[in-house]
Amino acid sequence: MAARSNSKGAARSHCILRGRAHSRRRACGRGSRSGSRGTGSDHREKGRRRRCCARSGCKGKSSKREGAEEVIQFRILIRSTPFASLTTSFWIFDFATVEEKPIRLVAGLGNAGPQYAATRHNIGFMVADQLCAQFGSTWEKSSKWDALLAKCGAVLLIKPTSFMNRSGYPLLAVAQFYKIEPQEILIILDDFALALGRLRIRARGGSGGHNGLESIIMQFGTEDIPRLRIGIGEAPREGSVDYVLNRFFDEEKPLVRSTINRAVNAVKSAIDNGLVSAMNTFNKIEET
């Protein structure tokens, strides 16, 4: 799409595959040039309070998507040349290459052991358990790694049993053994910075203070690991460790059950339709 005019004082605009924000000034046909580039948000998850416990303890239906690659780059140039003082300015919008890989490994995070069962910190385990049950699969104790494994179609399910703060070790070993890239993994974890019932899917970002996710990022050496954060209710400023290791209140349990169901559907959507589709559907705030 293009529209141009070579006469002075006229406007010119066109669209090409590129993108940044620039500004250029000229005085009487000659002068200095200045430019500024706008940098888009990488959607990193920042500003969260430190979280997670400080204790030492602490493929479904096979998607036929081969991995979609989409490039959307858009440029708009608007130029005006009024009289002697010539000013040229244009905005360029760049949507960088987006490569979406199919999910091949789903990891639910939590702490192993009956004393941690059904605690807020273990909601990742709860979602993985329900996902496993819906596919009619069963957990098997790995003889190689500290993990429970289950096969759901072409997707591998894993629950690290190395305790939350060391989740990255068995997960990396499993990913390397099956030649699974970080972008092909979906992590399911709790988030006490989100209200109970909220879901948030991201393709990348920091740990947000979650020690389990921090361990995974450290072991893989990248933040480009998709994750599904599940709100467990905002923790008090003091006593967050005790909060995440406590069980849900009785009055919260109906919402917890519906949240787990939505989280399972979100995982299935990410597997079958891709992360972007799952984000658009499940990152919305549920109306009560």
What amino acid positions are annotated as catalytic residues? 121
Q: Tokens representing 137?
A: 């699969």
Q: What does the alpha-carbon distance between residue 160 and residue 108 come to, in Å, rounded to a whole number?
A: 8
- Residue 18 neighbours by CB distance under 10 Å: 11
Cβ neighbours of residue 138 under 8 Å, at least 6 residues apart? 132, 150
Class of residue 147 by CB neighbours under 10 A (exposed 0-12, middle 13-18, buried 19+): buried
Cβ neighbours of residue 29 under 8 Å, at least 6 residues apart? 86
CA–centroid distance for 174 within its chain: 21
DSSP string, 162-223: S-GGGTHHHHHHHHHHTT--GGGEEEEEEETTS-TT-EEEESS---TT-HHHHHHHHHHT-S
Q: Tokens representing 161?
A: 């049993």
- Tell me if 92 sits within 8 A of 70, measured CB to CB: no
Q: Identify the CA nearest to 216 among candidates 164, 288, 143.
A: 164
